[in-house]
Amino acid sequence: MTRRNYVHWLFAEMESPPEMSLYDELHRPQFHFSPKKNWMNDPNGLVYQDGVWHLFFQYNPESNIWGNMTWGHAVSDDLMHWQQVEHALHPDETGTMFSGCAIVDKENTAGFGKYALLFFYTAAGDYVDPRVPFTQCIAYSTDNGKQLTKYEGNPVVEWIAGTNRDPKVIWHEGSAHWIMALYLDKDRYCLLRSTDLKTWEQFQELRLEGDDECPDFFPLTDEAGEERWILWGASGIYKVGSFDGTEFTPDTQARVGEHGPAGYAAQTWSDTPDGRRIQISWMRDGIYPEMPFNHHMSTPVELTLAGSGNDVTLVRWPVPEVESVRAQSKSFDQQVVVAKKPYIVETEAKLLDVSFDISKQDSSSLYVIIRGQYMMFDWTKGQLSFIRSGLKSSLAESGVPIPAGDRLSVRMLIDKTSVEIFLNQGMVSASFNFLPGAYIDPLVIQSRDSEQTIDNLEVHELSSIWT
């Protein structure tokens, strides 16, 4: 039995009947996960077990606007092809089900069974009535996530401050404790520890300037072979530091790991094979007219560290599993793009994985026109921007910094209504949603005022994950 057949078999009885036009709608993302219908936001409960990647998510089962927060659930065998199954956590007397995480309890720490899946979530109390505060709770599953049972002793963390929420739990080998990162209020976060996953002690408060919500806390190894810990917030701001089980000590100032208005509330999977650190974001800021669904997830990316010491940077790069949806690939010889004469890339596809190297030379800017929408590389300002005329946004369209140097490598993942861009092998990354404008050719490259050279142009036309 193949892995995909195994996942299909495992959750077969949970599938709902197919709908005639499902996943073929005008603005439906074709290689990003989106729910069958209704509102979706933050990824939750990301965990891998027995060949199954679990993606839980904030979900409103009754409407395509925010509210009635429930945990939706999708599964995959390859991080790309997703199957939505039954909703997992429903509102109760403690409130709606806000964001959280999941882990595999390999040693039966909590007493629900060896290799049980444990889910940590925020019971969201009542925004209006402070007598029903936000608390942190757990649920568990002994059948690989098919059925979740809420713990009778909830909450496991009582109210601390504000609308404290979004627990993220990880095992720390050195101190032999489970560690929980928790958002408090404003830019305040805290760390708690436990030996049984039910009783928690707060031991440190932290700040992540300019960010709030949805913490992630995890280790990576830098290029010197040293273990470093990353504290990450909902807006993609992070710090790199050291952690000994009793204190997180930042070694860097707050930095931006994910640019652009779309990516938000990113989280990483726990218990991944081969120790991979894989992250996915909610692609907010996409409001598609008359679609049955609202919002989608990003392409999963793998995280690594470049550099060492204080000169260390978080690198984000699409998982190699993206190659599984490549349908046709083309490579092109060196192209010289001259001023005001567009270079038309030879493709008619709407789903693309495109990469190239650009030599800036003396030009002030380069335009990449994606299905009628302009992405501008402003060499003078050192910023990238995406001019999205088809989509109105309440979010700031701040420029994305372009790494210094005369040459830049670019990779773009283009879906029907989104583009994710990775510069210099993921040293800088950003994501944008858009609605296509009028166009003849789906991908055009144009120099503004003098010639520029494009090398190593590769165009991979992608297939739909829904077919």
- pLDDT digits over 110-130, tens only? 999 999 999 999 999 876 666
Q: Which residues of 344-361 are buried (b: 16+ CB within 10 A; e: fewer)?
A: ebebebbbbbbbbebebe
Can you say how many angstroms the Cα of residue 121 is from the centroid of all Cα atoms in its chain? 18
Which residues make Cβ contacts (< 8 Å) with residue 445, sequence separation at least 6?
Answer: 335, 337, 342, 343, 345, 366, 367, 368, 369, 454
Amino acid of residue 377: F
Check whether 17 has a pLDDT greater than 80: no
Q: Measuring CA to CA, which residue among 78, 66, 73, 90 is closest to residue 31?
A: 78
What is d(CA 147, CA 136) in angstroms, rounded to the nearest whole number?
A: 20
CATH fold of the domain at 323-462? Jelly Rolls (2.60.120)
- pLDDT digits over 29-61, tens only? 999 999 999 999 999 999 999 999 999 999 999
What is d(CA 292, CA 24) in angstroms, rounded to the nearest whole number?
A: 11
- pLDDT digits over 174-196, tens only? 999 999 999 999 999 999 999 99
**In whole numbers, what is the pLDDT of the chain averaged over residues?**
93
Cβ neighbours around 24 below 10 Å, total: 12
Amino acid of residue 181: A
Rounded to an integer, the average pLDDT of 125-148 is: 88
Distances (CA, A) of 204 to 190, 241, 291: 6, 14, 44
β pairing state of 38-49 and 293-294: parallel
Check whether 20 has a pLDDT greater than 50: no
Which residues make Cβ contacts (< 8 Å) with residue 76, sequence separation at least 6?
Answer: 7, 52, 53, 55, 82, 83
CATH 2.115.10.20 fits domain 3-318:
yes
Q: Measuring CA to CA, which residue among 188, 193, 186 is closest to residue 169?
A: 193
Amino acid of residue 113: G
Check whether 1 has a pLDDT greater than 60: no
Among candidate residues 24, 42, 143, 449, the one labeled active-site is: 42
- The predicted pLDDT at position 261 comes to 93
Share of the chain above pLDDT 70, in %: 92
- pLDDT digits over 229-283, tens only? 999 999 999 999 999 999 999 999 999 999 999 999 999 999 999 999 999 999 9
**Dihedral sign of CA atoms 113, 103, 14, 40 in order:** positive
- pLDDT digits over 412-462, tens only? 999 999 999 999 999 999 999 999 989 999 999 999 889 999 999 999 999
Comparing 389 with 160, the larger pLDDT belongs to 160
What is d(CA 246, CA 135) in angstroms, rounded to the nearest whole number?
A: 23
- The predicted pLDDT at position 396 comes to 42
Would you kindly state where each structural domain of the chain is located, as residue ranges?
Answer: 3-318, 323-462
- pTM score, two decimals? 0.94
Q: Measuring CA to CA, which residue among 184, 180, 181, 179 is closest to residue 164?
A: 184
Comparing 357 with 15, the larger pLDDT belongs to 357
From its phi and psi, is residue 216 left (phi > 0), alpha (psi between -120 and 50) or beta?
A: beta
From its phi and psi, is residue 108 left (phi > 0), alpha (psi between -120 and 50) or beta?
A: left
- pLDDT digits over 383-392, tens only? 999 987 555 4
Phi, psi of 388 (to 5 degrees): -100, 80
Check whether 393 has a pLDDT greater than 80: no
Q: Measuring CA to CA, which residue among 141, 142, 144 is closest to residue 50?
A: 144
Query: pLDDT category, 227, cuts 50, 70, 90?
Result: very high
- The predicted pLDDT at position 71 comes to 98
What is d(CA 359, CA 447) in angstroms, rounded to the nearest whole number?
A: 11
Q: Measuring CA to CA, which residue among 145, 140, 148 is closest to residue 169?
A: 140
Q: Please state whether the peptide bond connecting residue 300 to the residue before it is cis, i.e. omega within 30 degrees of 0.
A: no
Is residue 42 flagged as an active site residue?
yes
Comparing 156 with 19, the larger pLDDT belongs to 156
Query: pLDDT category, 103, cuts 50, 70, 90?
Result: very high
- The predicted pLDDT at position 389 comes to 59
